Structures are given as C-alpha cells and as structure tokens.
Amino acid sequence: DAKTTQPTSMDCAEGRAANLPCNHSTISGNEYVYWYRQIHSQGPQYIIHGLKNNETNEMASLIITEDRKSSTLILPHATLRDTAVYYCIVIHYNTNAGKSTFGDGTTLTVKP
C-alpha cells in the first residue's frame, strides 16, 4: 500500500471549514484513499473514501487531485466535537480494507 504524509497538527475555528491535506504521491491506480478519525481514546471512526472522483457524505467531502497524488478532507462546518486525530490511509482494492495501517495522522484542534 502507498505511504501517506500528513501534517502533524492543525487548528481550525469553530464553524469554519477544516481542510486536512494528505499526500500519497506513490498511489497506484487500484488504490483507494480512506479517511478515519479517532476522538480521544475512542475507536477509529470511518469518515469517507474515494478512488478518483470527489466524494461527499453527511460527515465530510473528499477532494482528490486529478493526478491522485494528494487529497483533502473537508469538514464544512467544524465543531468542537470534530477535535480528533485524522488518518489518511491508502488501500489497494484487492486488499482487505479492514486491515488498515494507521500512521500518525493529523491532530485537528477545533477552537471556539
């Protein structure tokens, strides 16, 4: 699976959009980008995933660049409860998606 690079930490004002970047320059055509988050010591929570098209669900939007070498997770209106560690993970479509390799992620702090 391709390696990902994320900033260590980010701050965001409550009510503003949080944009979390992820670089995955070695991604292959058969690899999906998944995002999870972990709110203090709780179990990781699935957010969204995509292959090459932008995706949106009730939690977030995922923007994947045309060359697929990077992506951005967007939380449109961040709340204090969105403070968490956000993990960007690349998984080959033929790999067990549940066998995820969690890196260090980005610690997002939403401030009042």
Partner 1 sequence: EPEVTQTPSHQVTQMGQEVILRCVPISNHLYFYWYRQILGQKVEFLVSFYNNEISEKSEIFDDQFSVERPDGSNFTLKIRSTKLEDSAMYFCASSETENTEAFFGQGTRLTVV
Applying CB under 8 A, the span of 1-9, 15-23, 42-50, 67-75 interacting with partner 1 comes to: 42-50
At 56, is the secondary structure helix, strand, or coil?
strand
Each as own residue / partner, the long-range contacts of residues 56-65 (CB below 8 Å, 24 or more positions apart, any chain) are 60/35, 62/33, 62/35, 64/33
At 28, is the secondary structure helix, strand, or coil?
coil
Contact code string over 74-93 relative to partner 1, x by CB under 8 A: -------------x-----x
Q: Minimum distance from CB of 30 to partner 1 (Å)?
A: 11
Q: Minimum distance from CB of 44 to partner 1 (Å)?
A: 5
Applying CB under 8 A, the span of 18-26, 51-59, 71-79, 94-102 interacting with partner 1 comes to: 94-102
Q: Minimum distance from CB of 40 to partner 1 (Å)?
A: 11
At 84, is the secondary structure helix, strand, or coil?
strand
Decide if residue 44 touches partner 1 (CB under 8 A).
yes
Dist CA 32 CA 61 (whole Å) = 15
Q: Say if residues 87 and 36 touch (Cβ distance below 8 Å).
A: yes
Decide if residue 5 touches partner 1 (CB under 8 A).
no
Decide if residue 52 touches partner 1 (CB under 8 A).
no
With DSSP H G I counted as helix, E B as strand and the rest as coil, what are the percentages for the chain, rounded to 5? Answer: 5, 45, 50
Interacting residues toward partner 1 by CB under 8 A: 34, 38, 41-46, 49, 87, 93, 96-104
